[in-house]
Structure 1
Amino acid sequence: MSSSVKDSKAAKLSTSQQLKGWKHSKPGLYVGIGSSLFGAFGIVRDVKRARGEHDTLKLVNATVAALALVTSTALLIRELRQLGDDDVLLG
């Protein structure tokens, strides 16, 4: 294996490690919360469509999706608060 291939694999590994670390940083958590809130628009659309069609199964599906969205957002907010508690500069 040539040294350039080894170097590129090492660079990819460090990039993936950096992305995993970014996911648990403040900007990463804010992006996660924002994308969750953006997903709420699709759920609202699905609920309206299910009600319009009088389709109970689709309404249940949209409700379960909404509960999952609320839970994931709550988890992200909790992680953001814990991250803030660990920060000595925030007090």
Structure 2
Amino acid sequence: MAKKKKAPKSNIGKVFSVGMQLVGAFGVIKQIKEARGKNDKLELADAVISAAAVVTGFALLIRAMRETDDELTEADAL
């Protein structure tokens, strides 16, 4: 079974995770522009798949942050 990644516990970890996703997004944008400029369909397909990976990473990060917030809310309610 695959291990579930834990959400970053510290604020620094959360900021670092968001920063890494943003760097990845800018890299994908650059890759797409270069592929379109060369009119290279294979590179463009690779860039689109990379973009999907970045979007998925953002979604996982948001979900992890929400779960952490839910845990904190539940702890405060007790």
Considering only CA atoms, is the larger Rg found in Structure 1 or Structure 2? 1
Q: Deviation at 1:33?
A: 1.6
Letter in 2 for 1:71: T
Give the share of equivalent positions with the same residue, in percent: 38
**Residues 26, 80 of structure 1: 8 Å contact kept:** no
Q: Which residue of 1 aligns with 2:3?
A: none
TM-score, reference length from structure 2: 0.77
Comparing 80-89 with 57-66, greater Cα deviation is found at 80-89
Q: Which runs of at least 4 in structure 1 moved beyond 4 Å after TM superposition? A: none
Count of aligned positions:
69
CA distance in 1 between counterparts of 2:76 and 2:65 reads 15
Letter in 2 for 1:31: F
Letter in 1 for 2:37: G
Q: Which residue of 2 aligns with 1:6?
A: none
1:52 is the counterpart of 2:37: yes
TM-score, reference length from structure 1: 0.67
Aligned residues: CA RMSD:
2.0
Which has a greater percent of helix? 1
